[in-house]
Amino acid sequence: MARKSATGRIGIADVALKAGVSHATVSRVMNGNFTVDPDIAARVRAAAVELKYQPNPVGRSLALGKTDTIGIVVPDLANPTFQAILRGLSRAAAQDGYRVLIADSFEVSSEEAILAGEARRRCDGLVLCAPRMGDAELAEIAPSLHPLVLINRTTAAPGVPSLVVDYGLGVQALAEHLVELGHTRLAFLAGPAGSASNGLRLEGLAVFKASHAHVDVTMLDGGSDFDTGHEAVDAVLASGATGILAFNDLVAMGLMSGLHERGVNVPADISVTGFDDIPFARYTTPTLTTAAVPIAELGAQAWHQLRALIRQEGTETPGVRYQPRLEIRSSSGSAPVSPAP
């Protein structure tokens, strides 16, 4: 048989032997180098087909110094937001012939730096998605990770484009919307303490409060998943608020489910808003008012920025800032005449 190499797979040498040419010529043919005699090229191609030869990407990567692979580090693969980003990234990168290596840090921020470094070494570039590590650490490792693109996080380190969603603006729009509906007592169901996007929401709320002295905004501890919302029902009811700004759509859905169980009517008794506009938001009962984030586009954009960096296109790309779009559906309505039960 034609299996010569140590790995047992068919290598360039086998094809060269079969076609009666040198490795170099085979390599040239495989890479579409036209300085090869058509007859010989045909012979090589025939041999390659017959042997079912497929170039070994590892050897190729070592020789070329590139892997045609990019890495992405996410805090939690279970989070729909990160899933959507991954999808957008994967799709866009695939269009340019790049593959995606994933690294899930499982919210263990101390692992992120190591994970990122390891991923980066196997890839041509890296996307760091909402990293939980501290600013100092991020700035310190950023240079060693170049080409690097940040999502929902910025850094002082130079040459690192950031794609950030303006959660502050989004939460302001939602609060504004509730106020226009007559609500004067709001509550914010916060997200994970370490999350930068939660910080942005808090900043947005501070701005909102400064210009709406007559509106009462209660702060409630929370998280980022269904259960958070579901478990927050008591706290929400105790707050006396009639307009609830949930950290995200998942929390909002959990909350609505809990309120439903208590017989509280949404939006007649209490209005609930989410954030992100995940696909499910259109199909909840009632449908969810939320702030839409062009999340899949974020993934695609991350690839485009990374690609520019990899190709060393000197176009200074400071990143992109995305503004959420208010998506009014049925979970928000006029404030009840009497306070909520």
91/89 Cα distance (integer angstroms) = 5
Binding mask 54-83 for DNA (x = CB under 7 A): -xx-xxx-xxxx------------------
Query: Minimal distance in Å, beta carbon 199 to a copy of itself?
Result: 26
Q: Which does 22 bind (CB under 5 to 8 A by kind): a copy of itself, DNA, none?
A: DNA
Q: Which does 137 bind (CB under 5 to 8 A by kind): DNA, a copy of itself, none?
A: none
Q: Could you give the angle at the alpha carbon of 196 between the alpha carbons of 246 and 78, nearest 5°?
A: 65
Q: Does 144 bind DNA (CB under 7 A)?
A: no
Rank residues 45 and 60 by Cβ distance to a copy of itself and give the closer one. 60
Structure tokens at 222: 């929370």
2-61: which residues touch DNA (CB under 7 A)?
5-7, 9, 11-13, 20-25, 27-28, 30-31, 35-37, 39-41, 55-56, 58-60
Q: Which does 280 bind (CB under 5 to 8 A by kind): DNA, a copy of itself, none?
A: a copy of itself
Task: Output DSSP code: residue 276.
Answer: B
Q: How many helices (H) and strands (E) does the chain have?
A: 13, 12
131/111 Cα distance (integer angstroms) = 11
Structure tokens at 45: 């191609």
**Unique residue bearing structure tokens 């009840």:** 336
State the burial class of residue 66 (Cβ atoms within 10 Å of its Cβ: 0-12, 13-18, 19+).
middle
Rank residues 147 and 168 by Cβ distance to a copy of itself and give the closer one. 147
260/257 Cα distance (integer angstroms) = 5
Query: Minimal distance in Å, beta carbon 236 to a copy of itself?
Result: 15
Collapse the DSSP code of 299 into the 3-class scheme (helix H, G, I; strand E, B; otherwise coil) and give the result.
helix
Query: Minimal distance in Å, beta carbon 133 to DNA?
Result: 25
Collapse the DSSP code of 159 into the 3-class scheme (helix H, G, I; strand E, B; otherwise coil) and give the result.
coil
Q: Which does 119 bind (CB under 5 to 8 A by kind): a copy of itself, DNA, none?
A: a copy of itself
Strand-pair partners of 72: 102, 127
Query: Minimal distance in Å, beta carbon 6 to DNA?
Result: 4
Rank residues 36 and 72 by Cβ distance to a copy of itself and give the closer one. 72
337/6 Cα distance (integer angstroms) = 80
Q: Which does 110 bind (CB under 5 to 8 A by kind): DNA, a copy of itself, none?
A: none
Query: Minimal distance in Å, beta carbon 125 to DNA?
Result: 17
Of residues 6, 42, 151, the one with CA closest to residue 86: 151
Strand-pair partners of 246: 189
Q: Which does 144 bind (CB under 5 to 8 A by kind): DNA, a copy of itself, none?
A: a copy of itself
Rank residues 10 and 41 by Cβ distance to a copy of itself and give the closer one. 10
Cis ω before 339 (30° cut-off from 0):
no
Query: Minimal distance in Å, beta carbon 29 to DNA?
Result: 8
Q: Which residues bind DNA (CB under 7 A)?
A: 5-7, 9, 11-13, 20-25, 27-28, 30-31, 35-37, 39-41, 55-56, 58-60, 62-65
